[in-house]
């Protein structure tokens, strides 16, 4: 069984596509969470190996989730159309790999593997 990945994405269809794609490759998906509050609740239940974060959610930016992940030493990836997500989500996102939106499947899995093996 592959490791768990927390998916934080507020666009339902994108979230479902990501969940199915990840599960088809053997990942166990926590979420998807559509809000900061929901993502933080999932984190309090279980720590994933890695997280995939949308920058803007229904209840604000993903900043608090990214800070919570960093505090727990959980690596995260951003899935954003923004070329510089840190301008929206804050300094905590500086240097986080961005797999883009729409997310390119091969890049997503390459970056996920790099995150959990580093």
Burial environment of residue 36 by CB neighbours within 10 A (0 to 12, 13 to 18, 19 or more): buried
pLDDT tens for each residue of 3-54:
999 999 999 999 999 999 999 999 999 999 999 999 999 999 999 999 999 9
Reference 76, options 57, 94, 50; nearest CA is 50
- d(C-alpha 67, C-alpha 65), whole Å: 5
pLDDT score recorded for residue 118: 74
Segments in the chain forming alpha helices (H): 12-24, 36-45, 63-71, 86-89, 105-117
């Amino acid at each position: 069984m592959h490791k768990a990945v927390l998916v934080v994405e507020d666009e339902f269809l994108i979230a479902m596509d990501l969940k199915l794609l990840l599960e088809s490759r053997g990942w166990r998906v926590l979420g998807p969470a559509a809000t900061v509050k929901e993502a933080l609740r999932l984190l309090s239940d279980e720590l994933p190996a890695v997280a995939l974060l949308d920058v803007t959610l229904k209840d604000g930016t993903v900043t608090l989730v990214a800070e919570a992940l960093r505090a727990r030493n959980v690596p995260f990836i951003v899935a954003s159309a923004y070329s510089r997500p840190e301008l929206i989500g804050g300094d905590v996102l500086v240097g986080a790999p961005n797999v883009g939106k729409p997310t390119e499947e091969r890049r997503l899995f390459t970056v996920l593997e790099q995150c959990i093996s580093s």
